[in-house]
Amino acid sequence: MYLDDAGAAPVLPQVAEALGRVPDGNPSSLHAEGRAARAALDAARDRLAAVLKASRTEITFTASGTEAVNLAILGAAHRLPAHATILTWAAEHQSVLAAARHLHAAGHAVTIGPTDHNAAVDLDAIKPGVGLISIGLANNEVGTIQPVAEAIERAHQVGALVHVDACAGPRWIDIPKGADLVSLSGHKLGAGQGGALYVRDGVRIDPQLHGGPQEWGHRAGREDVAAAVAIATAITVCDGQRAARSAAAATQSADLRSTLEDLDGRLTGGADRLPNYATATFATRRGEDMLLALDLAGVAASSGSACASGSLDPSHVLLTMGLSLDEALGSLRLTTGYTTTEAEVTHARAILTAVLARTPTHA
């Protein structure tokens, strides 16, 4: 059973079908194959723009969500006045925080704002002098939905640009209107590949890749038509199915959270969360032990901690939320998807109970 939709959503059948029709050829070429590729790229751009209620010139295709985030933050920051501050928050995705650290190292003024115990941002960090804010649509680790609409209003009141990292969430919830920059990730939408950045008309950003004039001068290099078709198809499907899928996911995740709580897990995330999230920490268990045991039992899940080079790093999100080191190392994230069934959730709950009952604890 696949309960890691937040890690990578399975490729939608509509996307797989659309990819089978992508023509060969370089969309910058003038021959017939090139013109067919250009037509497919233009159609994908129009479809994505329609979902975002934008114009085609406001859509830039990228290779990934991380690239879209970096293009938004670095590209916009390089156009700011020298005295302007870049603001983001401590529980944002690593792509956002890494871009902020890069800017700080280059001499820009950067503020990392605090979050509360649910990973919700503190909007009081938006003050005069801020030139750009970067806020997530929802926290990718615990699912807390951020007050994006209010953040946009407050930021614009002090003259700041707003980047919304919408890589996590648009599969399940709408993106509030009014942002200046919005980044998207294909693999979290069910596209399997690609990324995109909405850049509001009138907002100027510096490219991070230099070469030809592709993507309105925002991103040099041969356009990846297949990736563009994939992400445009995926977000169109999500836009049409979002309400029904979210209602079903909310019931499934509530059942999973109930089981996690019954097993002495401490639930994490706010009450206003993405509907498919069930997250908890277990102070007397290790995340990797639970993941491996669940994997052997046939359940794909994820944890807030990650094994790398033989060392276990605690989640920066959970530590920012005020959890102890042991709690941060014992996190579990279950996220349902579009194809998750009630029978699978019932089976997964039984497996969770059996597995966690025998997973070793630590002092």
In the block, residue with structure tokens 């503190």? 122
The catalytically annotated residue of 250, 307, 312, 351 is 307
Using CB atoms within 10 A of its CB, is residue 170 exposed (0-12), middle (13-18) or buried (19+)?
A: buried
222 Cβ contact partners less than 8 Å away, ≥ 6 residues apart: 26, 27, 28, 214
Nearest to 166, CA basis, from 134, 131, 136, 206: 136
CA distance 118 to 115: 8
Using CB atoms within 10 A of its CB, is residue 309 exposed (0-12), middle (13-18) or buried (19+)?
A: exposed
Using CB atoms within 10 A of its CB, is residue 8 exposed (0-12), middle (13-18) or buried (19+)?
A: middle
CA 228 centroid distance within chain: 17
CB atoms closer than 10 angstroms to residue 17: 10
Q: Give alpha helix (H) positions in the chain.
A: 13-19, 32-52, 65-77, 94-105, 148-157, 225-262, 287-296, 316-320, 325-329, 342-358
CA distance 283 to 263: 12
205 Cβ contact partners less than 8 Å away, ≥ 6 residues apart: 71, 72, 75, 76, 78, 79, 181, 199, 218
Secondary structure (DSSP) of 322-359 = T--HHHHHTEEEEE--TT--HHHHHHHHHHHHHHHHHS
Nearest to 51, CA basis, from 193, 223, 174: 174
- Residue 183 exposure: Cα atoms within 13 Å on the Cβ side: 30
Nearest to 171, CA basis, from 150, 188, 146: 188
| Bridge partners for 135 per DSSP | 164
238 included as an active-site residue: no
Catalytic residues: 307
